[in-house]
Amino acid sequence: MAPLASGDPFEVVQMEDETVPEFSNGKPKRRYHFRWWRFIVLLLAGAYILIPLYAGLKFSFQGVTGGFSTLAYTSIPSAPGFTAALALSFKLAIVTMVVSTILMVPTSIYVHLRMPRFRRVMDVVSVLPIVIPPIVLIVGVIGDYPLWARSSPYLLSFMYVILSMPFVYRSLDAGLSAIDLKTLTEASRSLGGNWIKTMWQVILPNIRPALLSATVLTLALVFGEYTMASLDLWTTIPVWIAQFQVSSDGHVQVAASMVGLIGTWILLILVVSLDRSQSRRNRRRTA
């Protein structure tokens, strides 16, 4: 750079040796440097997740003679006990989702509207089911609940409501935080809406992605929970997989696990897509 000319301190001076940044469309070009360690981390993480999946998929497509076969997948529906286990898991998932929604949606709305300071407490309470092992919960239930309650599989649903609380509450909390809940509620109330209509016609449609996310996560949890169901002696899909594994060569069970896993992934991708479209709408609204 040339030295400042003497005299007028505000004199414009020619810059020399100044690196002129490259611009494209008015924006400075970002330079991406290849960081080899990032690639290694990504590779390791990918291998950690994908190798077991690959092994499972390969095993499930292996025929008796070792060649490629889809027999394991086509024989899933006719495997003994599968239909009953699937039906039970579905019933439990539906009851869990309904109870969880009925319990958590009004609670979350109430906390947001009337007790915003209580949200921190809710944050802590909602993660307790992750801290407390499921086996502790189910042992307590089996020991203390009356026989008539334990004789129904739906008792499991109430346990699953507790287990799903961290996912459901956090999804709803994020959804409710993304809208101006107080103003929307007051607008509805001033126009004559009662609480049920306000919730049904104003709040729920605007937190739909959060609700969907909560229900999908609950579904995934119910279809993956083994400890409670097996200790309470109910054959849900995870229990069936474990039990049938013992009495067969395992191809069908692995195939069923793969179907469950991929199905859950597809659902999650759908939820993320819905969430993104909702975010875009919100951005446009606030622009």
Partner 1 sequence: MTQMKESPMTESTSAPRSTGAGVSLENLVRTFGKVRALDGLTLSIEPGEFMALLGPSGCGKTTALRVLAGFETLDSGRVIVDGDDLSDMTARKRDMGMVFQSYSLFPNMSALDNVAFGLRMRKQSGRVRRAKAAELLDMVGLGDQRAKYPHQMSGGQQQRIALARALAIEPRVLLLDEPLSALDAMVRAELRDQIRSLQQRLAITTVFVTHDQEEVLSMADRVCVMSKGHIEQVATPAELYSRPATAFVAQFVGISSRYPVDAASQRVGLFGQDCPVRSGEGSALSGPADALLRPEDVSIDVDPAGQGFVTRKSFLGAMTRLTVQIGEIPVRVDLRSDRASEIDLGTRVRMSVVARDVLIAPRQPIIEEPVS
Nearer to partner 1, 57 or 178 (CB): 178
Q: Give helix 251-286 / helix 208-224 axis angle, nearest 10°.
A: 170
**Is 109 an interacting residue with respect to partner 1 (CB under 8 A)?**
no
* Residue among 233, 177, 229, 166 nearest 203 (CA): 177
CB of 119 to partner 1, least distance (A): 19
Q: How many residues does this entry show for the chain?
A: 287
When asked if residue 285 is in the footprint of partner 1 (CB under 8 A), the reply is: yes
Interacting span for partner 1 (CB under 8 A) from 28-36, 133-141, 194-202, 244-252? 194-202
Contacting residues for 88 by C-beta, under 8 A, at least 6 apart: 153, 234, 235, 236
Nearer Cβ to partner 1, position 7 or 205? 205
Contact indicator for 175, 209 with CB cutoff of 8 Å: yes
> Which C-beta is closer to partner 1: that of 74 or that of 282?
282
Residue 274 found at the interface with partner 1 (CB under 8 A): no
Q: Where does this chain touch partner 1 (CB under 8 A) — which range of 73-81, 163-171, 190-198, 256-264? A: 190-198
Tell the residue number behind the tokens 């499921």, with chain if given: 134
Phi, then psi, of 28 in degrees rounded to 5: -65, 140
Residues contacting partner 1: total by CB under 8 A: 22
Q: Considering only residues 191, 266, 269, 270, which one is a binding residue for partner 1 as defined by CB under 8 A?
A: 191
Candidates 46-54, 100-108, 151-159, 175-183 — which segment interacts with partner 1 by CB under 8 A? 175-183
Is position 282 an interface residue for partner 1 (rule: CB under 8 A)? yes
Residue 242 in tokens: 């474990």
194 is an interface residue for partner 1 by CB under 8 A: yes
Q: Does 113 bind partner 1 (CB under 8 A)?
A: no
Question: Which of 180, 233, 270, 272: binder of partner 1 (CB under 8 A)?
Answer: 180
- Work out how close the CB of 251 gets to partner 1 at its nearest, in angstroms, rounded to a whole number: 47
Residue 270 CB, shortest distance to partner 1, in Å, is 19
Q: Does 188 bind partner 1 (CB under 8 A)?
A: yes
Q: Is 197 in the site for partner 1 (CB under 8 A)?
A: yes
Residue whose pair of structure tokens reads 């013992």 in the numeric block: 246
Q: Binding residues for partner 1, per CB under 8 A? A: 179-180, 183-184, 186-194, 197, 201-202, 205-206, 281-282, 284-285
